[in-house]
């Protein structure tokens, strides 16, 4: 009886951990060298953008979320679509633009470690795709 | 799931973990079962680093070192990457042996976190891979495989090794980094630049060929 | 114009020697080979139990912060491929700011690409 109660307690304790699904925050950003504006919604990744990219202005265009683990259902954000397969420890990511596959990558994601793809052509310059585990 | 996935950090299955514990405790059957799938990758690394006819000897040496070192394996790297690092050390020792230098490690694999950067492979390798013919190979037959071999023969060693380990031997970036003793970013750069150079060489030979 | 894929498979090296033969030799040669001592980090059952209880309490209280998840290592790109025509790729990562930036150079809009590419 005691053992049974202990087992139930252990399951109750660990259930929230198992059930907590990670989410992948996906942002499509228009980057340019015109102006100095950065959307407030990009503050968390601004240090990374500033460090590695020469753009001075970053504007959020679209935003979406993919629940992980994911089975590959595409998230459409304008003419960009992101497909994810797997969980955060081993996630296959495919980025398509206008129906053509631009990038395929396999990653092991970490919290607070954004993954940013730069160089996609956009209507007003360059598009960035920023992925961040939530 | 790729057959190598079972050996990746964070994805180690319960059955694999159990066999690993048994192998660490000295169970040869468990060791054999666990490591046999890794043999082609180790042979690939050995072929790229020391060439024939020593590659198979180096594979045996690698597995003997692996058997010896396994109790101390701390799962910081995947089992495959860990073994590839040991293979690289075995290759470097083999090359030292060829040059008449005393071995620094005889059945003494270095710590699994030691990435061997202190011994650049460029300083130790001076062989010709038998699968890569000389640059002046006759390509008059327009055989695309022969053309690819000839084009690879014109690439520098760094780019060629990275491309072969990736596209012929199908190693992951992490495993290539362990095999070549360089950071993953360097592997990526070599792959992308190598592909670009290869594409250029192939384009000279035949514009119908792409390197993708 | 369609471009042919490169026949990487034509360069596939010979298969390893037969498994039975290899492992038979292996068994002969490991006789007398001393093994390294086990890693010390696994021999702390008391601490493990204490840690498990502490973790369970944290979870029960809903106080499990993302920051305590195993994130010691940074983001890892295991593979990267850019199928669309491009000039080059730069992968940027350093210790100063966590994260990775992948710059794809020379990527053109889909409608600007020729059928066969440059």
Q: What is the pLDDT of residues A47-90, one digit of tens each?
A: 999 888 878 899 999 999 999 999 888 999 999 999 999 888 88
pLDDT value for A30: 94
pLDDT value for C54: 52
pLDDT band at B209 (very low <50, low <70, confident <90, very high): low
Distance, CA of B97 to CA of B11 (rounded, Å): 38
Distances (CA, A) of A33 to A67, A124, A131, B34, C75: 33, 11, 22, 54, 28
Query: C-alpha B38: how far from its chain's center?
Result: 11
- Please indicate whether residue C72 or residue B185 has the higher confidence score (pLDDT): B185
pLDDT value for A24: 95
Side-chain half-sphere exposure of A5, counting CA atoms within 13 A: 2
pLDDT band at C43 (very low <50, low <70, confident <90, very high): very low
Say whether pLDDT at B74 is over 90: no
Count Cβ atoms within 10 A of the Cβ of residue A97 and give its class: 0-12 exposed, 13-18 middle, 19 or more buried.
buried
Query: Which of the other chains make 3 or more beta carbon contacts under 8 angstroms with chain C?
Result: A, B
pLDDT band at C32 (very low <50, low <70, confident <90, very high): low
Give mean pLDDT, residues A8-15: 46
- Reduce the DSSP state of residue B55 to 3 states and report it: helix
Note whether B100 contacts A: Cβ–Cβ < 8 A: no
Distance, CA of A35 to CA of A14 (rounded, Å): 49
pLDDT value for A82: 95
Distance, CA of B175 to CA of B83 (rounded, Å): 9
Which of these, B193, B194, B138, B161, lies nearest to B50 by C-alpha position?
B161
pLDDT band at B134 (very low <50, low <70, confident <90, very high): very low
Note whether A90 contacts C: Cβ–Cβ < 8 A: yes
What is the extent of the structural domain holding A34? Answer: 21-133
How long, in residues, is chain B? 212
pLDDT value for B100: 56
| Residue range B99-128, pLDDT digits in tens | 654 433 322 233 333 333 333 333 333 333
Gap between the terminal Cα atoms of chain B: 23
Say whether pLDDT at A27 is over 90: yes
Distance, CA of A105 to CA of A94 (rounded, Å): 7
pLDDT value for A114: 94
- Can you give B158-194 as a three-state secondary structure string? HHHHHHHHHHHCCCCHHHHHHHHCCCHHHHHHHHHHH
pLDDT band at C95 (very low <50, low <70, confident <90, very high): confident
pLDDT band at C15 (very low <50, low <70, confident <90, very high): confident
Which of these, B195, C118, C81, lies nearest to A95 by C-alpha position?
C81
pLDDT value for B60: 92
Q: How does the average pLDDT of chain B come out, rounded?
A: 73
Say whether pLDDT at A117 is over 60: yes
Q: How does the average pLDDT of chain A come out, rounded?
A: 84
Which residue has 């585990």 as its token pair?
A133
Distance, CA of B121 to CA of B95 (rounded, Å): 10
Tokens of B57: 């000897």
**Chain B residue whose CA is closest to C94:** B185
Strands, E, within chain A: which ranges? 22-32, 57-68, 70-71, 75-77, 80-87, 90-97, 100-108, 115-122, 125-133
Distance from CA of B25 to the nearest CA of C (A): 9
pLDDT value for A75: 94
Percent of chain C with pLDDT over 70: 51
In a domain, A2, yes or no: no
| Residues B84 and B42: beta-carbon distance below 8 Å | yes
Distance from CA of B98 to the nearest CA of C (A): 22
Distance from CA of C68 to the nearest CA of B (A): 16
Residue among A102, A105, A115 whose CB faces C99 most closely? A115
Gap between the terminal Cα atoms of chain A: 40
pLDDT value for B163: 92
Q: Give the residue extent of every domain in chain B.
A: 3-124, 144-205
Which of these, B146, B148, B153, lies nearest to B129 by C-alpha position?
B153
pLDDT value for B151: 86
DSSP state of C109: P
Say whether pLDDT at B12 is over 60: no
pLDDT value for C14: 67
What CATH class does B144-205 carry? mainly alpha
Say whether pLDDT at B161 is over 60: yes
Distance, CA of C19 to CA of B120 (rounded, Å): 32
pLDDT value for B141: 36
Distance, CA of A83 to CA of B181 (rounded, Å): 33
What CATH class does B3-124 carry? mainly alpha
Chain C residues near residue B59 by CB distance under 8 angstroms: 16, 22
Tokens of C93: 């990562």
Using alpha carbons only, what angle is made at residue C103 by residues A130 and B190, rounded to the nearest 5 degrees? 130
- Please indicate whether residue B198 or residue C2 has the higher confidence score (pLDDT): B198
Distance, CA of A129 to CA of A29 (rounded, Å): 6
In a domain, A9, yes or no: no
In a domain, A89, yes or no: yes
Give mean pLDDT, residues A28-39: 90
Which of these, A101, A23, A5, C24, lies nearest to B60 by C-alpha position?
C24
Pairwise CB contact (< 8 Å): B68 & C38? no
How many domains does chain A contain in total? 1
Say whether pLDDT at A92 is over 50: yes
Tokens of B173: 């970036």
Enumerate the β-bridge partners of residue A75. Answer: A82
Tokens of A65: 């979320």
Distance from CA of B88 to the nearest CA of C (A): 18
Q: Do domains B3-124 and B144-205 have the same CATH topology?
A: no
How long, in residues, is chain C? 118
Q: What share of chain B is helix, strand, coil (3-state, %, to 5)?
A: 60, 0, 35
Pairwise CB contact (< 8 Å): A121 & C107? yes
């Amino acid at each position: 009886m005691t053992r049974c109660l202990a087992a139930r307690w252990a399951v109750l304790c660990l259930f929230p951990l198992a059930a907590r699904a990670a989410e992948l925050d996906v942002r499509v950003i228009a980057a340019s060298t015109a102006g100095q504006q950065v959307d407030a919604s990009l503050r968390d990744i601004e240090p990374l953008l500033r460090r590695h990219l020469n753009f001075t202005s970053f504007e959020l265009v679209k935003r979406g979320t993919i629940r992980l683990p994911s089975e590959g259902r595409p998230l459409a954000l304008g003419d960009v679509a992101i497909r994810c397969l797997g969980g955060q420890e081993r996630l296959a990511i495919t980025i398509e633009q206008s129906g053509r596959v631009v990038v395929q990558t396999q990653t092991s994601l970490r919290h607070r470690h954004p993954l940013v793809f730069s160089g996609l052509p956009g209507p007003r310059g360059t598009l960035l795709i920023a992925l961040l585990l939530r | 799931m790729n057959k190598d996935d079972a050996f990746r950090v964070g994805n180690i299955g319960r059955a694999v973990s159990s066999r690993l514990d048994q192998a660490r405790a000295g169970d040869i059957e468990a060791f054999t079962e666990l490591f046999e799938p890794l043999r082609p990758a180790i042979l690939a690394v050995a072929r790229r680093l020391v060439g024939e006819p020593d590659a198979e000897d180096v594979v045996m040496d690698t597995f003997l070192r692996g058997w010896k070192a396994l109790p101390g394996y701390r799962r910081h790297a995947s089992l495959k990457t860990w073994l590839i690092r040991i293979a690289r050390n075995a290759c470097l020792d083999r090359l030292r042996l060829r040059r008449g230098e005393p071995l620094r490690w005889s059945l003494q694999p270095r710590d699994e976190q030691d990435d061997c950067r202190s011994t650049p492979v460029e300083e130790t390798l001076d062989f010709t891979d038998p699968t890569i013919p000389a640059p002046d190979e006759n390509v008059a037959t327009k055989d695309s495989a022969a053309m690819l071999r000839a084009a690879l023969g014109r690439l520098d060693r760094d780019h060629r090794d990275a491309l072969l380990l990736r596209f012929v031997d199908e190693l992951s970036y992490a495993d290539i980094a362990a095999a070549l003793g360089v950071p993953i970013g360097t592997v990526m750069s070599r792959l992308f630049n190598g592909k670009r150079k290869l594409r250029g060489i192939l384009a000279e030979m035949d514009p119908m060929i792409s390197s993708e | 114009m369609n471009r042919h894929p490169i026949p990487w498979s034509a360069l596939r090296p010979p298969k390893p020697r037969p498994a039975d033969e290899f492992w038979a030799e292996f068994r002969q040669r490991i006789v007398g080979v001393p093994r390294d001592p086990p890693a010390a980090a696994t021999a702390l059952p008391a601490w493990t139990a204490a840690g498990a209880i502490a973790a369970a309490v944290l979870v029960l209280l809903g106080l499990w912060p993302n920051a305590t998840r195993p994130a010691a290592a940074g983001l890892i790109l295991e593979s990267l491929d850019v199928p669309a025509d491009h000039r080059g790729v730069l992968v940027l990562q350093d210790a100063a700011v966590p994260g990775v930036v992948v710059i794809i150079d020379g990527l053109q809009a889909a409608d600007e690409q020729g059928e066969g590419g440059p």
